[in-house]
Amino acid sequence: DLTSLLIYHIKPKKMTPEQLVTLNDEVRKLIREYMEKHQMSLNKFSKQSGIHQNQLLIYLNGQDEKKGLHSGSLRKLGIFMSQNP
């Protein structure tokens, strides 16, 4: 399928242990920058990425460090933003 093809064609840089420490902050920044660049509301981004709006809202506010996005959701976001640069 298209998702599998896209994943195998992406050549990510190797992640470092230090990057794991700031992973959530970096993902939040990527999402905000993407939404701003494409002039998207949270609702529109949510619908197009396939991530529930409330889940994104809680994640982006980052008030509770125990609340995050599952690795499958992070992967879904990466695929969405890669397919729609």
Please report which residue ranges of 1-85 form alpha helices under DSSP H. Answer: 2-9, 17-21, 23-37, 42-49, 53-61, 71-83
CB–CB of 46/52 below 8 Å?
yes
In whole angstroms, what is the distance from residue 16 CA to residue 26 CA?
Answer: 13
CB–CB of 80/50 below 8 Å?
yes
pLDDT band (50, 70, 90) for residue 66? confident
Average pLDDT value for the chain: 83
pLDDT band (50, 70, 90) for residue 43? very high
List, for residues 7-40, the tens digit of each pLDDT value. Answer: 555 566 777 888 888 888 889 999 999 999 999 9
